[in-house]
Chain A
C-alpha cells in the first residue's frame, strides 16, 4: 500500500509486473532506490497539493461572498484533480521503471522502437466555447438571470492547469477564456484533456445535482438553514472525481464542504493531430442534461489554438566541428565549420562564437523530411567517414559532404541525424515550421469587465442592419433625434395653420371615405371602446380611422397605437392640405402608419383631384393638432411615449408595410416622407418577431 509518510521507501504493489520481476530475481529491489528521487518529487507535489486543498476548504468554509466561494471551490477542484493525477503518475512511473531497466540491445542503426522522440512544448490558447441559447431565452428581458460560473481544467501528462473563472449568463454568446496555458514537457503522443466545469451561481449554495425547481421549492418552503441541510443530504454523496477509486489505492475522501461545487459539464481530448498554427474547432462531449442546475446550452464544439514546439525545433540538437565540401567540387576545398543541428537546418558557422552572436551562418544545409543522409565508404583522402547530405532544391539535387575528425564523431553525428529524423516523423506537422507560442506576460492583465459583453452588444448597428437586441436603444436614439429636429422650429408654423382649419376639415371628406369603406363597417364597432379613453375628442371621426385600421390587423393594441403614430405622419399630410403646390421644408416623420400611407396614396391619387387628395389626411391630422400646440416639449414627450409604446406593442399598423422593396415608397413621389432605413428595418424586424402580425405589403 502506498504510504504517504515514508518518502524514501519505494513500495511495490502486489501483483504488479515489478514484483514479478523481483521474484524472478532479475533485479533487486535496491535498484529502485534511485527512483526515489523522482518519487519524492512527486511526493512533494502531492503534499503541496494536499496542503493547498486544505487551505481551500478552510477558505470555502469561512468566506461569505459568492465570488470568493466560487474561486475557492475552483481551487479545491483543481487541487483534487492534481492529487489524483500525481498519484496515478506515481504508479505509472513505477511501472515504467521496470520496463526501462530491461537491458537494451545496443546497435548502431538500431530499431526505431528504442528511440524516444524529443519532448516539446504544447500551448493551448484562446479557448472559446459557443453557447446556444434559445432565442426566447436570449431576448427576454425580465426574470432572474440564471448564472453559472465556469472554468476549464486542462490536463496533459502530469501537468494540470486551470483557467480563470468566468461567470456566464444568457447575455453571453460564447464562453471565452483568455489564458494561454503552456505545458512544457509533452511527448508527441500527448493527450490534452480539456474539461469544462460549471457551477450554478445562485444566492444560496444549492446542491448542484438536485433539479433547480425542486431546490428552489425546498429553499422557499423550508427556510434557509433547514433547506440547506436537506439539500446537502439529497446530494448523491461526494461527487468529486477522487472518490472513483481508480488508480489510487488510497482513497482520500474529499471533505464535503458546504459551498458551491463544480460539476463536469463537457470534456474533449486533443492530441497531435489537432495541433495547428491557427484556430480550429473541436467537438465537445457533453455530460449532464437540462435538469442539472449547472447546465448550460453548449453548442457542442470548442475553438482554440493548439500549438506545439518540439524541442528539436527550438533547441540545438547537436553541435561540433566539421569539414564541409560541396559535392562535385575540388576534393581539397574542405571548409572547416562549426555546425549546429537545429530545427530544419544544419547551420554552419565559421566560429563557435557566432552561434550565440546571431551572426548569419556561412552555410545552411536544409534538414527536413526530404533530406537523405548516408554515410559513405571510408574516404582514402581523409580519416573518418564521410556523411553525404542530399537535398532537392527545385529540380536539382545538391549534395554536401561532411567529414569529421574521428569515427566516434561520425557516429554521433549520424545518431543525431537519425534522432532528428525520428523526432520529425513523430511530431509531424509541428516540424514544418516553428509555431509561435506567446507566453502570457507576467504583467497583470487589464481588469476584466465584470460582465462580458456578447457579440451582439459589440457589433455596431448600422442603419441597414437588422439587429434586434438593442431595438429599444435605437428607438430611444431616434426619439432623441426627433426631439432635436422638432426643436428646429419647423413644426409650430403649420401646426397653427392646422388648428385654424380643423373645424373645417373634419366635416369635409367623410363622404368619400366612408362610402368606400362601407364594406368593412362590421369591423368598426368593436374598435371604438379601446380608442375612446385615449382620445376623447376624436369621437367625431372614430369610424373612419378604425375602419382603416381594421384592414391592417385584428388586434386591438394596433388600433390604440395607430393614432399615435399618426402624430408623426401629420407633418406631411398637413402640408398637403394647406400648401398644395409647394412642399415646404418640414419635419420628416420617423414612423409612418399604413393609414398615413393609405391616405397619401389616395392623396397622390392617380390623377385625382384636390378633394381626392385630402381625403383621409386632415381628419387624422386635425384630430392630433389640438394636442401639442402649446409647446414643443409635450409633442416630443408624447411622441416619445407613443413611439415607445409602439415598440412595446409592436404595432403592425406602422409596420405592416413591407419596407423591403423601395417601389411602394418612392411610388408616392418626392415629398412623400420616407422613413429612414433604420426605422424601416426596425419595423420589419418587429413585425417579423411579433407572432400576432399578419404582414401586408403594398405592391
Chain B
C-alpha cells in the first residue's frame, strides 16, 4: 500500500457502497476515519507502512451503515465517490464523506487481506484475474 513517488499507485480494491443513515437532520455513515497528509502517519495503528498518509477506517459503529456495507476497520480508503483520498488532508477527506447533498457514498477501499486473497487465488489458479468484488448493502435501509 505504500507508494513510490512518481509511480502510479496500484492496489487491489473493493468497492463499498454505503447508504447514509438519516438521524434527525444529519446523515451519518457510521465509521470514523483517521489519517491525512496533515497528520502524523507514525501514529496510524492500521497502516503497514508507517509513512502512509492515507485515510484509514479507524472504527466502525456496530450496526451502522458502514458495517452493513462491508467496511472493515483498518481499511484504507482510496476514493470516495470518485474523489481521490490518497493525497488529501484529514479535513478534506471528512468533507468529501459528509456532503449533505449526497445520500450514498461509493468507496474504493483496500486492505491487506484483499491482496493476500488475490495472491492466494493467483497462486492456486494462475489463470484467474484479480477479483474485484462488489459488495453492496444487503438490506434496504429506511431513510427518514
Contacts and interface: CB of A to CB of B under 8 A. Distances in A.
Nearest to B63: A606
Interface stretch (A54-62, A480-488, A656-664): A656-664
B26 A699 contact: no
Contacts, number: 90
A661 B61 CA distance: 18
26 contacts: A551-B58, A553-B43, A554-B43, A554-B45, A601-B61, A604-B23, A606-B21, A606-B30, A607-B63, A658-B91, A663-B26, A663-B98, A664-B98, A666-B25, A666-B26, A667-B27, A693-B39, A694-B40, A695-B36, A695-B90, A696-B59, A697-B90, A698-B31, A699-B29, A699-B31, A699-B97
Interface string B1-44: 00000000000000000000101111111111111100110011
A516 interface: yes
A634 interface: no
A552 B23 CA distance: 24
Summarize A's interface: helix, strand, loop or mixed: loop
B94 A697 contact: yes
B74 to A, nearest CB: 10
By size class, the interface of chain A is 20 to 34
Interface string A511-528: 000001001000100000
B97 A551 contact: no
Contact of A669 (B23, B43, B63): B23
Interface residues of B, number: 35
Interface of A: 516, 519, 523, 551, 553-554, 598, 601-602, 604-608, 658, 660-664, 666-670, 691-699
Contacts of B44: 694
B123 interface: no
B27 A663 contact: yes
Interface in B40-68: 40, 43-45, 58-59, 61-64
B59 A551 contact: yes
For the residues of B in contact with A, the DSSP-based class is mixed
Contacts of A670: 24
Contacts of A551: 58-59
Contacts of B39: 693-695
Nearest to A698: B32
Instruction: Across the A-B interface, give the 10 residue pairs with the lowest CB-CB distance, nearest first.
Output: A694-B43, A663-B26, A667-B23, A696-B34, A667-B26, A667-B28, A699-B97, A697-B94, A606-B63, A699-B29
Contacts of B94: 658, 660-661, 697, 699
Given A663-B98, A667-B28, A694-B44, A658 B90 contact: yes
A318 to B, nearest CB: 69
B34 to A, nearest CB: 4
B107 to A, nearest CB: 11
Contacts of A660: 91, 94-95
